[in-house]
C-alpha cells in the first residue's frame, strides 16, 4: 500500500510540476529566452494567494490575484530585463545572470515581508479520505489532476487552432518570416510570457495548500522546470509536461527505498544522465548547438 | 577590532582565490559553471582530513585538495565537452544539487550537517603558522600565485587558444586547436585552485560543514566574477571585495534590524547582478560594451 500511496502523491506533485514546466517550455520554445526566473513567478503567485487568504478573500479572488501577479511579473521581466539585454547582445549567460539576480531579489523580498518560515494554507481540500483500505487520497489530488487535464487540453487546442497559437509556434521557428507576414514578434513574445507565467499559478496555489511555501521555493521549482524541460527536450511542451509528471512520481517513489533527502537528488541524477547521454531529451529535435 | 579586520582580510584573500579560479572557467573559457562551491567544498573536506588524520601541513593539505578537486572535476569537464550554453549551465546546476546532498549524507567523510570540527592550526615544514597575520600572508601568497599563473597563461598559447574557443569553438577547432584538451585543462586548473581555497578555508574557520558549499555559495562566487568583470585580471578581485565588504558595511547601518541583514544583503546583490547585466554586462572592470 505504501507504494500506491506514494504513487498517488507522486502523481499529484507531478501534475503540478508538469504545468509549471510547461510554462517554462512554452516561453523558451517561443522566444528562445531562458526564463530562469520562472520559479520566482511561482513563488510570487503562491505568496499572493497566501496574502489574499490572510485578508479573508474568497478563493476565486485569491486565484485571480495570483494570476494577475504572475502575469504582471512575467510581462515586467520580459519588457524591463530580457528585452533590453537581448537588444544589445544576445549572450545567453547575461540573460541567465540577470534572471538569477531577479530570483535572489524576489526571494529576499518575500523573506522580508513574510518571514523565512514555511507557510501552508489549511483547506478542507487537503483532508485525506480513505479510498481503499490503507490508501488515503485527498480531494486536492483530483483537483490537481483535473486542473492539469483541462489546462493541457485547452492549451493544446489554443496552440493548434487559433491564430495567436499558430503565431507562437511560428515565432519559435522563424521570427523573420513571422515579421514578413505582418505579425508582431514583440506582441507574440509578450503573449508567450503572459501564458507561460499563468501556467505557474495552479502549481503555486495548490502547492501552497499541500506542500507549503517557503522563500526558497522558487529555486526548487525552477530546478524542477529546468530538469523537466531538458529531459522532455528543450522547447517541447509535451516533453516538459511528461517529464514533470515523471519527476514528481520519481521524487515520491524514491522515499520508499531511500531517505527523503535523496528524493530531490534522484531527479538530478536523471537530469545529469540525460545531459550526458541524450541532451535532446525524450521528444526534442536535435537542437544541440 | 584588529582580529575582526584580519579575519575579514583572510576571507577576502580566500574568496579572491575562488573568484580568480572561477574566472578561468567563466571569463577565459566560456565554461559557465554554477558548481564552483562543489570544488571549494571538496578541497575543504580534503584539507580538513589531511590536517585531522595526518598532520596539518599547509602545503600538503593544499596539494591534496588541489588533486582531489582537479581529479573530480571530470564531473564538470564531461558535460562541458558534451554540451554548450544553457545545457551546460543546467548540468552544472544538477551537479551542484547532487553534491549538496552527497555532502550532507556522506557523514563518514564529511560529518554531515555537523561537519568536521577541531581542525588544528596549520604548520609549514614543521613550524606552526601561529597568528592570524602569518596565515593571512599565506592566503595572499596563494592568491598572488594564482594571479601570476593566470596572467602568464593567458598571454601564452594556452590562454589564447582558450579564449579563441570561448569566442568561437568551431573556428578554434578549424584552426587545429585540441578543443577537448584545452577545455579539460581549463576546468582542472580552475577547480584545483578552488580546492586550494577550500583547504585554506578549512584552516581559517577550523571547521567545515555543508552549508558553506551550497548553490548559494556558488552563486555568490559567480556574482563576484560577473559584477567585477569576467575575463579581466582585476575584475574578480574587485567583485570579491565589494561583495564581502557589503555585509560588513550593512552591520553598521543602524535602522536595519539584525535579523533582516541577510535578506537586505541578498536583495542588494541580486539587484546589482540584474542591473549590471542590463546596463554594463561586462562588469565593473570590463570594457563598456559586451565583447561576447
Q: Is residue A185 part of a domain?
A: yes
- On average, the pLDDT of chain A sits at 82
Set of cell numbers at residue B87: 545545457
Does A175 fall in a domain? yes
| CATH for A72 | 1.10.3470.10
From A173-182, B147-156, B272-281, the region with the lowest mean pLDDT: A173-182
B103 closest CA partner among B210, B28, B262, B239: B210
Judged on CB neighbours under 10 Å (0-12, 13-18, 19+), B242 is: middle
Residue A184 lies in a domain: yes
Q: Is B82 an 8 Å CB contact of chain A?
A: yes
Q: Establish if A251 belongs to a structural domain.
A: yes
Residue B291 confidence (pLDDT) above 70: no
ipTM score: 0.80
Which of B270, B272, B286 should be substituted to probe chain A, the one whose Cβ sees the most A Cβ atoms within 10 Å?
A: B270
**How far is residue B182 CA from its own chain's centroid?**
20
Suggest the residue from A24, A93, A111 to mutate for an interface test with chain B (most B CBs closer than 10 A): A93
Nearest CA in chain B to A268: B94
Residue in B89, B97, B273 closest to A101 by CB = B273
pTM, to two decimals: 0.85
Query: Going along chain A, which residue ranges are E strands?
Result: 128-132, 135-138
Whether chain A has a CB inside 8 Å of the CB on B259: the answer is no
Non-local (6+) Cβ contacts of B87 within 8 A are: A230, A234, A275, A279, A288, B79
Preferred mutation among B268, B281, B283 to probe A, highest tally of A CBs within 10 A:
B281
Residues of B in contact with A111 (CB under 8 A): 262-263, 266
B160 closest CA partner among B251, B29, B263, B58 = B29
- Count structural domains, chain A: 1
Contact (Cβ atoms closer than 8 angstroms) between residue B25 and residue B154: no
**Nearest chain B alpha carbon to A34:** B86
Residues 217-246 in B contacting A (C-alpha not used; CB under 8 Å):
219, 222-223, 226
- Chain-centroid distance of CA A9 in Å reads 18
pLDDT value at residue B190: 94
In this structure, is residue A141 part of a structural domain? Answer: yes
Q: Which residues of B touch A259 (CB under 8 A)?
A: 105
The one-character DSSP state at A261 is T
Q: pLDDT by residue (tens digit) across A112-154?
A: 888 888 887 777 766 666 666 767 777 778 888 888 888 888 8
Using CB atoms, which residue from B79, B85, B273 is nearest to A98? B273
Give the pLDDT confidence score for residue A284 in this predicted structure.
Answer: 60
Residue A101 lies in a domain: yes
Q: What is the pLDDT of residues B112-126, one digit of tens each?
A: 888 888 888 888 887
Show the DSSP H helices in chain B as ranges.
Answer: 2-23, 36-53, 58-72, 74-82, 85-105, 107-110, 132-155, 157-167, 169-174, 179-205, 215-228, 235-250, 261-279
Residue A105 lies in domain:
2-119+137-209+216-277
Amino acid at each position: 500500500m505504501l507504494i500506491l500511496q506514494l504513487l498517488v502523491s507522486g502523481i499529484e506533485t507531478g501534475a503540478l510540476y508538469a504545468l509549471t514546466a510547461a510554462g517554462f517550455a512554452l516561453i523558451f520554445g517561443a522566444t528562445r529566452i531562458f526564463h530562469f526566473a520562472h520559479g520566482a513567478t511561482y513563488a510570487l503567485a503562491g505568496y499572493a494567494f497566501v496574502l489574499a487568504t490572510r485578508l479573508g478573500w474568497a478563493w476565486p479572488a485569491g486565484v485571480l490575484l495570483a494570476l494577475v501577479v504572475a502575469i504582471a511579473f512575467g510581462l515586467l521581466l520580459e519588457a524591463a530585463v530580457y528585452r533590453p539585454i537581448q537588444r544589445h547582445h544576445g549572450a545567453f549567460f547575461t540573460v541567465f545572470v540577470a534572471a538569477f539576480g531577479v530570483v535572489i531579489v524576489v526571494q529576499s523580498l518575500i523573506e522580508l515581508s513574510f518571514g523565512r518560515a514555511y507557510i501552508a494554507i489549511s483547506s478542507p481540500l487537503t483532508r485525506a479520505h480513505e479510498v481503499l483500505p490503507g490508501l488515503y487520497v485527498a480531494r486536492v489530488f483530483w483537483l490537481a489532476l483535473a486542473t492539469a487535464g483541462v489546462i493541457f487540453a485547452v492549451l493544446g487546442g489554443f496552440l493548434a487552432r487559433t491564430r495567436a497559437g499558430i503565431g507562437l509556434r511560428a515565432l519559435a521557428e522563424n521570427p523573420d518570416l513571422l515579421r514578413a507576414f505582418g505579425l508582431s514578434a514583440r506582441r507574440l513574445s509578450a503573449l508567450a510570457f503572459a501564458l507561460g507565467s499563468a501556467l505557474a499559478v495552479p502549481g503555486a496555489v495548490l502547492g501552497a495548500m499541500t506542500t507549503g511555501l517557503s522563500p526558497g521555493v522558487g529555486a526548487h521549482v525552477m530546478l524542477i522546470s529546468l530538469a523537466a524541460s531538458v529531459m522532455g527536450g528543450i522547447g517541447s511542451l509535451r516533453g516538459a509536461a511528461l517529464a514533470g509528471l515523471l519527476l514528481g512520481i520519481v521524487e515520491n517513489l524514491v522515499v520508499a527505498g531511500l531517505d527523503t533527502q535523496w528524493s530531490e537528488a534522484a531527479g538530478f541524477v536523471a537530469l545529469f544522465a540525460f545531459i550526458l547521454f541524450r541532451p535532446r531529451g525524450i521528444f526534442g529535435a536535435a537542437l544541440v548547438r | 577590532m584588529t582580529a575582526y579586520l584580519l579575519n575579514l582580510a583572510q576571507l577576502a584573500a580566500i574568496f579572491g582565490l575562488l573568484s580568480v579560479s572561477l574566472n578561468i572557467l567563466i571569463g577565459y573559457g566560456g565554461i559557465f559553471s554554477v558548481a564552483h562551491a562543489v570544488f571549494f567544498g571538496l578541497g575543504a573536506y580534503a584539507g580538513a582530513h589531511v590536517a585531522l588524520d595526518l598532520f596539518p601541513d599547509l602545503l600538503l593539505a593544499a596539494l591534496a585538495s588541489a588533486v582531489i578537486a582537479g581529479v573530480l572535476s571530470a564531473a564538470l569537464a564531461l558535460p562541458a565537452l558534451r554540451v554548450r550554453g544553457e545545457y551546460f549551465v543546467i548540468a552544472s546546476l544538477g551537479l551542484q544539487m547532487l553534491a549538496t546532498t552527497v555532502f550532507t549524507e556522506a557523514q563518514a567523510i564529511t560529518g554531515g550537517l555537523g561537519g568536521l570540527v577541531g581542525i588544528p592550526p596549520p604548520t609549514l615544514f614543521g613550524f606552526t603558522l601561529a597568528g592570524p597575520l602569518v596565515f593571512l600572508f599565506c592566503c595572499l601568497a596563494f592568491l598572488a600565485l594564482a594571479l601570476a599563473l593566470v596572467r602568464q597563461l593567458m598571454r601564452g598559447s594556452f590562454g589564447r587558444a582558450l579564449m579563441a574557443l570561448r569566442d568561437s569553438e568551431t573556428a578554434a577547432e578549424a584552426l587545429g586547436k585540441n578543443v577537448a584538451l584545452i577545455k579539460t585543462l581549463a576546468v582542472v586548473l580552475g577547480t584545483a585552485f578552488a580546492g586550494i581555497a577550500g583547504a585554506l578555508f578549512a584552516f581559517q574557520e577550523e571547521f567545515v560543514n555543508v552549508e558553506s558549499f551550497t548553490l548559494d555559495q556558488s552563486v555568490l562566487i559567480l556574482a563576484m566574477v560577473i559584477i567585477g568583470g569576467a575575463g579581466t585580471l582585476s575584475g574578480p578581485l574587485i567583485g570579491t571585495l565589494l561583495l564581502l565588504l557589503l555585509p560588513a558595511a550593512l552591520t553598521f547601518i543602524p535602522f536595519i534590524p539584525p535579523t533582516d541583514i541577510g535578506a537586505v544583503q541578498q536583495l542588494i546583490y541580486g539587484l546589482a547582478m540584474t542591473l549590471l547585466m542590463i546596463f554594463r554586462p561586462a562588469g565593473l572592470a570590463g570594457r563598456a560594451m559586451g565583447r561576447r
